[in-house]
């Protein structure tokens, strides 16, 4: 069956003596780890008294304990709700309330948040994930789990909720996406082939586990591979982990990769085990793709496109697509990729009609990994999940070969002087300038054009740029109306936990607007 208990049962049986967890203190086999997971499930069911279908919040940096608790919840039929730890305490409380969590498992690192309203109300329902003397909280996961007797596997139906993941991230009111057992396992079946996963693979969890991208690792569990968890990203920590654990699959976002390559520690570590870099949330400029491929011997670059609602992967730009791109089709690097087997894509116009091939519009998808809707949000569910299709809210186009170009989040499209401009197109042009390290294009209020395009640029080290240079660079590369009217320079762009540039924050930022120099394009 396509359920997580079935998947875990099979993995333990087929690969019980394989390492499951790679830790400095000694590896754990699948037999040993599944023993702990079944005990943790017993703890959830009997000690905490949680019933199948009930929810448990998790507020933690990546760790074996978080992974174990998540798998234990799957095993027991409890629905884990990992919460974005970069949210403010009122937002965290809102997610926990919205999800109806009975208990909050919390990393001691975040225990001080329990002193702040309204999260202090969760103090009596909090479970400390690791021992920590100063928190004043008595309950501790390890001891309680060890004291529990193992629970047998719950037998969920394939369509039962497996996990509740909140979208909206650091901005706005989040919605809890109901990801089912079938969703996760179907996407693991699809991704296992893409990654060619084998029992000797090892996966490095760098991106925060509250993000749907972490579900990608399920295909490694499916085939008896192993996992290593990093509590937080730093270039040195990633490089050390790859060397120490002989990591074969790394899931990273472009900014992480770039920071690693720029780090002085790079080159001092043996990274020859790495065979796949799976990256997402944004495309990566060709120059950095080249440098990454040069730096990691025989690594396959795979860009994924997906959303929380798609558990998470919909499309893939695989290593062959990357090779093709570097051989003269650099435009392909701006594609989200091509749909996975089992995924249907449709592009529609504002009237809801399918557009002509190659035309852009809203991306609709369907497939076995498309989630069951939003928790307690019947209206939003009806709007987004219509007639069997999930309406992604992303704008894109599908070319004749099936490459899906995600032009921009619909809301990030700028209408300037009556023309629709997809900011990613403008960014791609500016990225071609050798002095540009990073760029984000946003719309800013403009008396004449309604909105005007503003490029916010981070210069590469050792480069000094002027707005006029950027504007001149754009000429001929993109249509006149797409050339930014304003260019601003900053030291760094605001980013989410996933390394995604937060355009909403840029728009709100007075600093950016104040420093903007206006130029006529």
Note the residues at the interface with a copy of itself (CB under 8 A): 1-2, 6-7, 9-10, 13-14, 16, 185-186, 188-190, 192-193, 196-197, 222-223, 338-339, 341-344, 366-368, 400-402
Instruction: Compute how many other C-beta atoms are within 10 angstroms of the C-beta atom of residue 188.
Output: 25
- Residue 90 CB partners (closer than 8 Å, separation 6+): 118
- Reported as type and span, the H/E element at residue 103 is strand 101-106
Q: CA nearest 519: which of 490, 476, 486, 489?
A: 486
Contacts 24+ apart (CB under 8 A), 120-128: 121/93, 122/57, 122/93, 122/96, 125/101, 127/48, 127/103
Residues 6+ apart with CB under 8 A from 11: 30, 34, 221, 222, 223, 224
Smallest separation, CB 315 to a copy of itself (Å)? 11
Between 222 and 238, CB nearer to a copy of itself: 222
CA distance 381 to 372: 8
The helix/strand/coil state of 96 is helix
- Phi and psi angles of residue 374, each rounded to the nearest 5 degrees, phi first: -105, 140
Q: Which residue has the tokens 């396992």?
A: 185
Question: From CA 260, how far away is CA 372, in angstroms rounded?
Answer: 37
Is 179 in contact with 96 (CB distance < 8 Å)? no
**Which C-beta is closer to a copy of itself: that of 22 or that of 192?**
192
Pick 99 or 217: Cβ nearer a copy of itself: 217
At residue 142, the 3 state secondary structure works out as: helix
Least distance in angstroms from the C-beta of 16 to a copy of itself: 7
- Report, in Å, the least distance between residue 50 CB and a copy of itself: 25
| Assigned token pair, 8 | 């875990």
Number of Cβ atoms within 10 Å of the Cβ of 182: 21
Residue 112 token pair: 């001080």
Question: Shortest gap between Cβ of 225 and a copy of itself (angstroms)?
Answer: 12
Nearer to a copy of itself, 298 or 520 (CB): 298
Residue 521 CB, nearest distance to a copy of itself (Å)?
38
- Strand pairing of 414-416 and 360-366? unpaired
Residue with Cβ nearer a copy of itself (157 or 171):
157
Nearer to a copy of itself, 197 or 441 (CB): 197
Of 195 and 239, nearer to a copy of itself (C-beta) is: 195
Q: How far is the CB of 257 from a copy of itself (least distance, A)?
A: 26
We find the least distance from the C-beta atom of residue 403 to a copy of itself, in angstroms, to be 9
Distance in Å, CB of 342 to a copy of itself, minimum:
5
Distance CA 489, CA 414 (A): 20
Min separation Cβ 2 and a copy of itself, Å: 5
Give me the least distance between CB of 338 and a copy of itself, in Å please.
5
- What SS3 string covers 331-366? HHHHCCEEECCCCEEEEECCCCCECCCCCEEEEEEE
- Beta carbons of 218 and 168 less than 8 angstroms apart: no
What is the Cβ-side half-sphere exposure of residue 373, based on CA atoms within 13 angstroms? 15
- Closest to a copy of itself by CB, 189 or 332: 189
Adjacent-strand bridge partners of 363: 347
């Amino acid at each position: 069956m396509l359920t997580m208990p079935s998947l875990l049962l099979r993995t333990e049986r087929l690969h019980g003596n394989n390492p499951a967890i790679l830790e400095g203190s000694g590896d754990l086999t699948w037999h040993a780890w599944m023993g702990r997971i079944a005990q943790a499930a017993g703890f959830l069911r009997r000690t905490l008294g949680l019933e199948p279908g009930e929810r448990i919040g998790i507020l933690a940096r990546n760790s074996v304990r978080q992974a174990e608790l998540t798998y234990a919840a799957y095993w027991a039929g409890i629905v884990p709700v990992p919460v974005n730890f970069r949210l403010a305490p009122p937002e965290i409380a809102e997610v926990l309330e919205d999800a109806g969590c009975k208990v909050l498992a919390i990393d001691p690192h975040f225990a001080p948040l329990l002193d702040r309203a309204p999260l202090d109300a969760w103090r009596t329902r909090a479970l400390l994930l690791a021992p920590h003397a100063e928190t004043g909280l008595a309950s501790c996961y390890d001891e309680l789990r060890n004291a529990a007797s193992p629970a047998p596997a719950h037998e969920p139906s394939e369509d039962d909720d497996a996990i509740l993941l909140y979208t909206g991230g650091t901005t706005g009111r989040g919605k809890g996406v109901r990801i089912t057992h079938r969703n996760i396992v179907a996407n693991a079946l699809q991704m296992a082939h893409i990654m060619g996963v084998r029992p000797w693979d090892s996966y490095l969890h760098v991106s925060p586990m509250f993000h749907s991208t972490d579900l990608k690792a399920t295909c490694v569990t499916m085939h008896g591979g192993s996992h290593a968890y990093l509590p937080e990203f730093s270039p040195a920590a990633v490089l050390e982990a790859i060397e120490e654990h002989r990591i074969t699959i790394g899931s990273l976002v472009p900014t992480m990769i770039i920071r690693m390559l720029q780090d002085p520690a790079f080159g001092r570590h043996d990274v020859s085990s790495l065979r796949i870099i799976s990256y997402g949330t944004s495309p990566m400029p060709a120059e950095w793709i080249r440098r990454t491929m040069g730096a990691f011997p025989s690594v396959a670059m795979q860009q994924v496109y997906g959303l929380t609602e798609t558990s998470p992967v919909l499309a893939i730009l695989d290593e062959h697509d990357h090779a093709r791109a570097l051989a003269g089709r650099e435009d392909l690097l701006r594609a989200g990729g091509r749909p996975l087997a089992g995924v249907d894509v449709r592009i529609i116009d504002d009237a809801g009609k399918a557009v002509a091939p190659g035309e852009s519009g809203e991306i609709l998808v369907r497939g076995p990994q498309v989630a069951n809707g939003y928790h307690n949000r019947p209206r939003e569910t009806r709007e987004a999940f219509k007639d069997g299709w999930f309406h992604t809210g992303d704008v894109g186009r599908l070319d004749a070969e099936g490459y899906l170009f995600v032009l921009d989040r619909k809301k990030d499209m700028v209408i300037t002087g009556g023309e629709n401009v997809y900011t990613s197109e403008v960014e791609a042009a500016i990225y071609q300038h050798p002095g540009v390290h990073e760029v984000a294009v946003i719309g800013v209020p403009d008396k004449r054009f309604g909105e005007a395009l503003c490029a916010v640029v981070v210069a590469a080290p050792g480069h000094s740029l002027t707005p006029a240079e950027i504007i001149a660079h754009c000429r001929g590369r993109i249509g006149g109306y797409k050339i930014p009217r304003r260019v601003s320079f900053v030291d760094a762009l605001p980013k989410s936990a996933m390394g995604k540039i937060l355009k909403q924050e840029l728009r709100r930022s007075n600093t950016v607007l104040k420093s903007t120099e206006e130029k006529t394009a």
